[in-house]
Structure 1
């Protein structure tokens, strides 16, 4: 180590250090280092300034310099990085088999040295906050690792543990770092929060295991925190273990897992977000955290956790007596005596303090981290940065909180390094406050320090209040919000509810807990919080009574209202958006009542102009692929699809997402879910039936999914195709099964047929909220009579020998969305050949072939009209001149004119056909406009009514009509009569084009 350090250039200390608050103590330390007169040469001026700073501000640091002069000298010559590396390397290399007294001395000396190095690097600005807290955390990890190795070896020597278990790995004993140690954020005088776990399976047949690890835990505590002439290492706190009032210091893994899965509380989830193994059997620790991951990271958006965090903060405030302290004031306020406000203020637990910043970041992680794994960062600064990057926090707020966090942690360190006390409170005496200001490098004294601290802390407290506030924020509720009012019905009638008696009965039922969702005290409190905002939002709708009835239906479907009400209480803008849905979109309102998880989609941060690449990257973080099994993957997919579908629909209703972009977004979502579930299902399939070497299966999307034009409620038209090397006859099993695992090989065709059925089952899995997707597999070769999956060779043969024209037309919208890359490329080639090739019968393309293709398309349209006529005037697809005819034109012309660049999307195919001269530009633009109009109208009708659109009647309320016309806003259509007239005009133009381009062209071709 000395040779390595000798090669390092001489380190230069900074010239400026905080001024000494006590010059006599500074002089004493200088005398100790430089001799009785304390004189130094010019080369040592920076060192002298450092000595004055340490001696005049911190008796503890001055004592460390006296006790560790060699370390101090190395620090001044080589800098803190080299000094820290040497200390930790020496400690890590120490033989763990030494006597306990020698281990204890080494640990305490390392603590003194790292404390000195870190303090100097902190005070001099040589290290960032992360480096300072990281160095203290690394010391704790290294010390714990050495201590645990020593104690395990000692237990093995006594015969209490088997000899093989004396090393860290495989010992069956792990130390989890929690809190600031887990996050690598230890402060200068931190306790270290630990959870000690042991695995009985690592020591089979050991009847006294709990006693052994209980004793080992007690010895670890004594070794680390007992004070002697050498000091101490770290104070330890084991109260974060599972059920600390009833469990021993070291808890068995099965006990811990059972506790968290059945009785774990929100504060324990919050604590575990920072947990990581720091000593002992690290692999065991990571495995444990993976097992309880679903307890920590809920897949749904857990806004109810906010209530628990707020309650925890209130208890802290009561315990610390925060209620009796002078108020910080609001941001921008001025106070006559700002020092008085901060005298004795707790920088950690007080208003505007470190804990409020930590709570804010940690709560956001609990709410969002299950759905967005990319947010999970145990560090406060890292979490704030990730929340800002994902738009879960405003970037300006996140940077402001981060800057204040750094400032407060710096002040906290200065407080603690003065006397090595675990304190977070600013001095309560003005003279001491002034002296502390010097240590904080505020030469203007206490007033300068107060100005430096107070405004950032006010902003933190305001942000904390905004984030956790509920209710109408200081506004007196309207009289009709008092549900006990004797004249409630008349108050509601005057407010605007058309059926005041019924409205009063609904609200009275809420008050009297008639609904299961509102029976708990917590739900009633949340209801009171949101009621003013909720009723105000409902009254803004055209029919407030209808919106109220639908919200009552939404509440009635909830088994517990806390989650929903918490979500609404902490997302005020959501009330207005939901009220708009309840008032104007009956289908979405019913969907929301049946599928309340859909609300989560509204809370995903929206990014302007989100493209497919960014959307797919975001979807990739949803965790479907990482699910432990098929059922969990389906559950995650269902939550994702329900939330995203509802979000897309509402964005269309609001005019924030047009039909084309919504179709692409829905198709990207479907692509992701198909690919992710295929991967999970294939993994489970291989575990049962082995693997087909060199084989694979692809999923081909057709119809609206293939053209990326999906709408609300669109089916998934799919085709499954597999391929494998010709010499493979059956799946191959591993040479040796794991214990208890029994696999069996299958013939290749049967292997892929079973895989296809499993994929279909996953994608269409039923649930309380309906199937994941409605699937249509009839576009596969041979339709519903053929196998659910076909080989690539069978696909090729079928389309060369048997395919109908309509099947080739369907392939113009085929898109390979999942499967192995090589097979996907091969499948694309086969699809292109099937579309542009000669077709059934092997006839070469030509005039006669084109004529027969056009005639077949015209006949197909006529047959559809006979067998499946339009069900009414709103059956956009099947109307004469409707969407189906636009699509038929684009599809059949791509078959007969292969020189046009193919496109799956109808609008793009029509433009390509115009560029190739197949159709006139004006006619193409007419058809493109018709395609867009029909899809806009059908998409809005789907959002408002679902797939069953009534011709007329009470469902066509004024809000519904207005929402429909707003969805067609570019056309500026005034009313439904004008809309019907425009529909007739568009249908007539499409019909004329279809007759000209398909019917007549087929008849006229010689």
Structure 2
């Protein structure tokens, strides 16, 4: 151990006069009393207290300043007695040796139990930490020596615990050792100390970061496949040995979460798996972390070999664009909030705060990563050594090296004293003047003001040097807060930034974003993909934060990422195309329904990459051409249906995108959604007929057609509409059964066609559902047969149908099927609608029907456009009333409600009444299209994403939601007055 720390023979009696002063005279008297009592047990302490001396004054002052040391002295004065009589390095060295040998039996006796090992380690830790603290406060140990001694103690403790665990495993038959006197030798178990432990820079009250790997073929394991389980259990015991608090205290808090993807990997990982991970999925912060990695326990030779293999991952050979992007990614992730104005000493975090230890470490590590691949001398672990190496290589000047080195050790001194007060793992200076004075006295300052001046100078120096290294600051990292998503712990500043940006659950959001950096998704497994995504993250978070439901929007984006097969091309495209990025964020924040679609089926997003998307209108011909190409080559029934589901989902999505961006309006979207439904229903119908003919042949003279009703019939579908269908058929009267190998009678044959069509359209599959199908408008409703022969349909409509069924018939349209049957059906519809009616009876029936709907299905609120008084039903009923009471003329099949109003209303409605109804219909249509596009459920103003509210206000040309609601109220009242006055 003499080669690790230079021996000087320093003794506590060498302490200078006045190196520290007591926090108060009252505390000094209490400590004096405590020491006199301890002197009754320890002669060395009694001798100290027998007279006045600089040593006595130092000990009293030190124990007033550190309640932790005072309590340790009261519990066990032996370490103080030893420090008063023996050179300090000798005592520390002996304590470390005791820790390292704690796994061995005493004087060749049997190996100790785990409990005995834990006790011996804790006694060694307590004595070493006590003596190091006194030596540090006395300025007999520098911060360099303090950190090195503490690191050596941690090395010894972990190595002893590993040796004990391996020996216990051997005795239990779980592992087989090559040398029982040196259990770790040749074991293939690699224990790396990370961070400050790896660099011999451990804090006074630090936890220790370890990663554990193993070589399955090192002959340690009888069955290499059991390695993760056996060694994982050992590592859990290691953590218990090190950090469980007993009556003797603890050794070191131990953290194993720096291993690859800790949320989903075992505590001990095979070497090959680790190398594969770092090569393919290693993250920026892991590269920085491994600069300081050092084998501290287990098979040290295997550990050095592992780090040698890892060198190309940590230190890249060439300084190319990707490497520079990588460095800037680290910068954005680790950079801490600078803030504005004066640096406040009280409450300042000397590790993570402005001008703190982390900035010095990052200053060095960043340049090591940039140039270490080409310059091996830069591959050093310790921060001071790194600064010296950078100066020697010409990357920084000597003044910068000296300034940052002095600042680094001063801040480490401050950090140690913060932790020595109560043995707490904190880096934050006290908020109160009295406690700040305690730290100042521990550092040898005469008062808190003098300490504050010195600390401010140091922090400003570091901050300036750090800022000079990175001239380009991202908006969020420079002025608006942290964005740190490295490691496994939440950065408090980042949580505050997320909260300020508008996220209500910043801890959950931080965890989600760390998942991206961990590369758990296919889209984020490559280093390049994560670099590009990191560059996008600040803007993504800013825009998501502006939405009212920021958390939900980010979770939808996370679901989208989880389903992407690859990411680098998309992330690069988004990075170079702000409009596309804005559109994607708009979807996630304003249109949950669309977001869920691309999360479930990410392939629909591919269509957004088409540069002609916004320029080409989704006409029937356009959609038909795309569908024909998409179905080309599909030979099997299920293949055709699956392709239809994929096509329909993508085209519904793309029509929705056009609507969302304003490329088309609500009326054009309604026609496009209906054209799409027509084409998909026709293709599914053809596939069903082909299947039926192959299995059952044809019915002689058989003809079949599909009639669309409701919004399908009038070209007014929305993104979320179901389809109202009636299947009509006919056949030769003499036909008894079909001609195929499995013949069916006509009724069963056409019923089977209908059932298969319903299943083809509405059955849920892995590719989703095409359309929900409603057949309640067929003759006799749900009580009637699902397929209707044309003569039965005709007879029913002429003799039995109610007025409301004739109202529905005004929107009937043949969607697909046999041409002659289509012509016959349209003739039947025209004849029925041309039949003269008693206007008073029609009016009474319409009013009765409207009243029944109001009673059985009252509107939820003002946003229930269909059901509100003066809403869509009122306008549709006016148009249908006009159609039934104007038999002398008929609108074209497939006329929309607006077209029907214009056709039938001219001459029967006043110009102002007609204009009011048409304007209301347009408003309801635009708003309905957007709401149904963006939401699966009803629109709730208080819960709606702010992006959706903006869309609705823009569609209605209203400045605010309140103004829009006022307009809806005005319009609906006007329509209701017209309905009541006209339909009577």
TM-score by length of 2: 0.48
From the CA coordinates, give the structure whose radius of gyration is larger.
2
